[in-house]
Structure 1
Amino acid sequence: MEIQEIIIKANKLILEDEQNQNQGTAAAATTITGTGDRCNFTKLPWHVVVEIMLKVPIEGLMRCRYVCKAWHELLLDPSFAKLYHGGSSSPTVVVLLQSSLFPHGNSGALYLIDPQEQEPSTIIAKFDHFPYLESTLVNSCNGLICSCDVRMGNPIYISNPVRGEFLTLPKGKTNPDRQFVSGFGFSAKSNQYKVIKYSEFVEIYTLGSGAWRRSKRVPPARHQSLFGIFFNGALHWLVKLPNQSVLIRCFDLDDEKFRTIPLPLSTFYEANFIKTHVGVLGDCLCLSSIVASISSDWEIQIWVMKEYGVRESWIKELTIKYPTPWEHWWNLRSIKVVTCLKNGEVVFDCEGSPAVYNVEQERFGLLKPNGISLTHVNGIAHAPSFVSLKDIAMGDGLKLFNF
C-alpha cells in the first residue's frame, strides 16, 4: 500500500516534470544517462524505479534528489523513508564531528564517511555550516543524531544530516554545574524517540511531547562516559559504584527503569575503569579495554556479550598486542569501538583520531576521508535515513530548521 501511494504521487509529478522540462533538469538527465536524450530511467514502470531506489547506496540517493522533481519528492516521501530504513540498503557509516573549537588543520565540520582501510575513505557528505560545531556527538539512532554542549548541558540538538534538518530541545532542569550523563534512543513499545539526561534525577524528553519530565532519583555512581550507548532498546553506561565495584548500568526506554548488566568474570575492570568503554560490535554489546600484558607493555582486549544480559556469554573476541606501526599510540588512556565493517575490520576512536583495524593483517590504519587526516573529532556509527523530524516531532511546537 505504501509503494502504491508513492507511485501515484510520483506519476503526477512526472507529468508535471514532462510539461515543465527545463534546461537544468535536462542537464541532470544527461549526467545520469551519458547522452543528451531524455533520461530513459523515467520510462521504467514506477514500481521498478522504487525498487531500484531502495537498493541505491545513500551517497547516490543524496545526489538523486537533484535530478528531477519526481525523484526529489519520492526520496523525501515518508513512506519511502520507512521502506528504505526498514531494508538492508542503508549501511552503517561513520559520522565524524570536528569541533570548531579545535580546528587542527581543518575548520569545524560534520562528515558522513564510508570507512575503508585499504583505500582513502569516501566522504559521503560534508556539512560546513552545521548548527552545532561547538557541541559533542551523543549518539545516533535510526538515522537521527543527538548532540549537546557538554560544558553547559544545553542546548541539545536532534538532527538528520541526510535531510539537512535539525531542532533544538528546550532546556531541562538538570543543574549544569553538576556532572550529567545523557543518551538518545528509541522505544519500540511506544514507538517514540527519547532523550535522557540525569545527574541526581532522571529527566526524559519524548520527541513530540514538547516538555521534559522528571523521573526517579538515580543511585550514585561514577560514569566512565557521559554518553550512553543505545542497544537492545536501552542506554548503557559503564559505572563504578561507591563500593568500588564496576558494572554496566542500563536504562530501558520502554519501561523507563534502570537495570544492571554484569561484566565478564574478571577483576581487572575495577583497576582499568578509565581505560574501558562500552560499545556495540556487530550485533553484540562489547567492552574495549587497555590492559597490562605479561608478554608486552599492554594490549587491547575486546569482549562481546553473545547473549544479551547473560554474564556467562561474555567471550574475548579480539586481542590487539604491542607492538604495532603506531607505537606512539600506546600511551592512550582509552580506545572506543565505533563500528564493525562488512569485511570484518573494526573502526576505533582513539582519543579523537579515527582509525581502522585490519584483523587479518593485525594492523591499524588512519581513517583518512578523501586522504584528509582528521584529529580532535568525535566519531559514532550511523545508519543514514530519509526519515523527517517533522513526522517524528509532531506536537512539539519546536521550530524545524534546515542547514
Structure 2
Amino acid sequence: MLFEILHKLPIESILTCRAVCKTWKDHIRDPWFIEEVGNSCHQSMRLILKSLPGSHLTLLDIEGCRTRQIPIDEMLEVLQIMCTCDGLLCMASALNLDPVVIYNPITRERVILPSSSSSEQPISSHEVGIGFDPSSNKYKVVRAYTISEGRVKRFEIISLGERSWRRLNAPEGIVDCDGSGVVFYKDALYWTMNGGHSTLIVQFNLSHETFHMVSFPDYFPSDHASLGLIEVGGCLTLVENTGSVIKLWRLTTANATGDNPYFSLLDTYDMHVNWGRSSCEFVCALNQESYLLQVGFRNSRDRRQEYLTRYSPEEIQYSNLGIHGLPPSFKIVCFKPSLRPLPAASSVA
C-alpha cells in the first residue's frame, strides 16, 4: 500500500516524504522503487530550461502552469544543456571539451567526466549526448567536436564509471560537418549535422557502437529550412520548418535492430505566419493536436526575447503560455524527473 501511494506522487512530493521517517526514506532509496518511479506513467514529462549564463535551472510543469527554480553552482552556470536521458542532464560547453557534467537536477547529484585526452585545440563546435545502453546496462556519453584547423570531425565515447574516453571512427561524409543538436531515442543517439548546402542526420547505436546515416527522400531537405528532432506520439520526428510551412517526417527503421533508418513524410501544415526576423523552433508535442514552440523576437532595443507558445495546426491557432519569470533567451529540453542515482566515482560532487 505504501508503494502504491508513494510512486503516484509528483517527484517533489516523493523527495519530501524521505524526511517522514527512516522506513519511508529507505523505501524511497530502494533501487527497485527508483526504477518503478522512473518508468511510472504518473510522472509526467516536464520541461527544463537554462539561460547562458544562468545561476539556476527552471523546471516547468506545463499542465499545472507551475515553475520551480533549481540553484546551480559556478561550474554549471557557464555550461549548456545538450541532451537528456532518464532524468539526467548532459551539460557541456559548445567551444570547450571540458568539463562535461552529468547532472540530476532533482537529487542534485552530479558526475564530472574525465578530461579529454585530445590536445587538438581550438575547436569550433562541440555536442555531447547521453543515452542508456540496455545490452551493458550502462549509460554512455558520446561527444562530437570539430577541430578548427582543417575542420576535422572527431567522435569520442565513455561509459559512466570509466576513467577515459575512447576514440570512435567517424563515418565518411561528416568529417567537415558542424553539429546543431543531439537527442537520445530508443537505444541510440541522433545528431543533426550541417555540411555546406546539405543537412545530415547521423544515428549512433549505443549497443553496437556503430554509425548509420539516416536516409532522406530525393526531394528532401529544403536548403532554406531549419530542422529539429522531437518525439511525437512515441516516434522520433524531424521537423522541417521553412518559416511558413512545416513538414513532419517520421523516423522508420528497416528491421528490429534499428539499422538502415529513414524518414517518411507524416504531415504538412501551413503556419499562416510570416516570421520575418523572428525565429520559431518546435520544442515538443503537447498532445495529439498541439505543439510547444519556442518563439524569439527582437524587441525595440534590438535585444532578443523568447516566449513559449502553444500551436494547434488544425485550428491554425497560437496562444502564448504567459509563463512569468523566463529569461530573455534560453535552451529548453523535454525532461522526465527521476530519482535515478549516478554511479559512484572519485569525481562525484
Per the normalisation by structure 1, the TM-score is 0.72
* Cα drift, residue 378 of structure 1: 0.7
**Partners of 2:277 and 2:58 in 1: how far apart?**
27
- The question of 1:112 aligning with 2:112 is answered no
* Cα drift, residue 162 of structure 1: 1.2
* Cα drift, residue 362 of structure 1: 2.9
Does the C-alpha gap of structure 1 residues 398 and 340 become closer, same or farther in structure 2, counting only changes over 3 Å? farther
More helix by share: 1
* Cα drift, residue 383 of structure 1: 1.2
More strand by share: 2
Per the normalisation by structure 2, the TM-score is 0.82
- The question of 1:193 aligning with 2:144 is answered no
1:274-353 matched pairs, under 5 angstroms: 275-291=226-242, 298-305=243-250, 307-308=252-253, 314-323=264-273, 329-333=275-279, 335=281, 337-342=282-287, 344-350=289-295, 353=307
**Partners of 2:289 and 2:253 in 1: how far apart?**
21
Letter in 2 for 1:399: S
1:80-119 matched pairs, under 5 angstroms: 80-100=33-53, 108-116=55-63
Letter in 1 for 2:83: N
- The question of 1:184 aligning with 2:135 is answered no
Contact 1:159 1:166 in 2 (8 A): yes
* Cα drift, residue 81 of structure 1: 0.5
For these two proteins, the number of residue pairs brought into alignment is: 323
**Partners of 1:240 and 1:161 in 2: how far apart?**
31
Letter in 2 for 1:355: T
**Partners of 1:312 and 1:261 in 2: how far apart?**
5
- The question of 1:75 aligning with 2:75 is answered no
Once superposed, what is the RMSD of the aligned Cα atoms?
2.7
**Partners of 1:229 and 1:98 in 2: how far apart?**
19
Local SS of the residue matching 1:79: helix
1:4-403 matched pairs, under 5 angstroms: 48-100=1-53, 108-116=55-63, 121-123=65-67, 125-130=68-73, 131-174=75-118, 175-178=120-123, 179-199=125-145, 200-219=153-172, 220-225=175-180, 227-241=181-195, 244-267=197-220, 269-272=221-224, 275-291=226-242, 298-305=243-250, 307-308=252-253, 314-323=264-273, 329-333=275-279, 335=281, 337-342=282-287, 344-350=289-295, 353-359=307-313, 361-369=315-323, 371-389=324-342, 393-394=343-344, 397-401=345-349
Local SS of the residue matching 1:194: strand
* Cα drift, residue 266 of structure 1: 2.4
* Cα drift, residue 372 of structure 1: 2.8
Does the C-alpha gap of structure 1 residues 264 and 303 become closer, same or farther in structure 2, counting only changes over 3 Å? farther
**Partners of 2:26 and 2:69 in 1: how far apart?**
23
Local SS of the residue matching 1:88: coil
**Partners of 1:55 and 1:279 in 2: how far apart?**
27
Contact 1:162 1:385 in 2 (8 A): yes
Letter in 2 for 1:230: F
Larger Rg, first or second structure (1 or 2)? 1
**Partners of 1:262 and 1:75 in 2: how far apart?**
44
